[in-house]
Structure 1
């Protein structure tokens, strides 16, 4: 899942270079890290690494102010809710129809998003950069994923002093398991471990009280 570069391209009347602006693209490239202890041989634990443009400040927290989730009349699922991109290429449009122009093209299966609105066959999503676009419902999966917002470590247990499984930089996409108050269980290509919850976009509750957004 983390074995090739990923991009998010802004689209319009002309193509935009992926390196033209920190707000216009991001790239996650696969890297191999071993355990950080010198006495332990390197282990092939793939962890994604973000390009320099992708900083923790780039990620936009999402919480619906004082709004309880409601069940959609279209899907029967809660809105807002987390989802993830199903395919390596997904077009995000300015409206709920293929007649609307493409605003962003995402090239990353598994990227976490928030579904914030629905129509019959379309879903309005918010991405980790804070942008909102419409995608066809078929392009989304209900599988929970998360993306790291800070550099840190994957631990073998949900404890600060637990053995280190791998290190990561901002922009690492992981499959999300159970979350407690402080830690979330994650997996990367079959390697399981724990990450501090506040270091993940896609693990925080979607509901908050007014003024805490």
Structure 2
């Protein structure tokens, strides 16, 4: 009888090992739900969005974002919920319907210069104060073209938040 029990345990452990070999650990660099890269940037598509302690309506609200178009960074996914954070690291879980794939950036420099071309020697066409939000048009490795209230110019990535350091957008 002991021998039969031992055979069953060995068979069970072999099956568990085989299942584990077939089911690799999830890749933390992509979302479990969307299979999109993590982290990634999105924008708030409403004028108010609740960030909750956990992924569900039963979790308490920790933070309320109140700027339509504000860039947010998605760091995790669970069902219809996305864990987001702002430029200061504040955030929580938000329902995906409150977020848009449209890209924006937040000016982080006290007074940033936007240039006519993606280099510091080109003419300054616009200046933007800290915390101004603009729509991202395109980015190369060091510069992004930003639209602020109908005006456009190139801004150094060092002066904004909402785009990855090595991210290129067409």
TM-score under structure 2 length normalisation: 0.75
Distance in structure 2 (CA, Å) of the matches to 1:202 and 1:104: 19
Any gaps of 5 or more consecutive residues in structure 2?
Answer: 1-26
CA-to-aligned-CA distance 1:41-89 (integer Å, 9 cap, x gap):
xxxxxxxxxxxxxxxxxxxxxxxxxxx8633231232221111111111
1:203 to partner: Cα distance = 2.1
Q: Is this contact kept in 2: 1:72–1:78, CA < 8 A?
A: yes
2:164 is equivalent to residue 204 of structure 1 = yes
Contact 2:85 2:92 (C-alpha < 8 Å) held by counterparts: yes
Would you say 1:111 and 2:70 are equivalent positions?
yes
Which residue does 1:135 correspond to in 2? 94
How many pairs are equivalent? 140
| Structure with the largest fraction of helix | 2
- After TM superposition, where is structure 1 displaced by more than 6 Å over at least 4 residues in a row? none
In the TM superposition, residue 145 of structure 1 has moved relative to its aligned partner by 0.9
Structure 1 unmatched ranges of 5 or more = 1-67, 208-213
Say whether residues 1:166 and 2:116 are aligned partners.
Answer: no
The answer to whether residue 144 in structure 2 is matched with residue 179 in structure 1 is: no
Partner of 1:157: 117
Cα distance, 1:206 vs. partner? 7.6
The structure, 1 or 2, with the larger RCO (C-alpha pairs under 8 Å, 6+ apart) is 1
Distance 1:108 1:132 in 2: 14
CA shift digits 1:91-127 (9 cap, x unpaired): 1111111111111111111111110011111000111
**What is the rounded CA distance, in whole Å, between the counterparts of 1:164 and 1:128 in structure 2?**
26
* RMSD of aligned alpha carbons: 1.9
Residues 1:97 and 2:56 are matched in the alignment: yes
C-alpha separation between the residues in 2 aligned to 1:69 and 1:93?
22
Q: Is the 8 A contact 2:141 2:166 kept in 1?
A: no
What is the TM-score of this pair, normalised by structure 1?
Answer: 0.61
Instruction: Check the 8 A contact 2:42/2:72 in 1, yes or no.
Output: yes
CA distance in 2, matches of 1:69, 1:149: 28
Q: C-alpha distance in 1, partners of 2:165/2:112?
A: 21
Q: Which has the larger radius of gyration?
A: 2
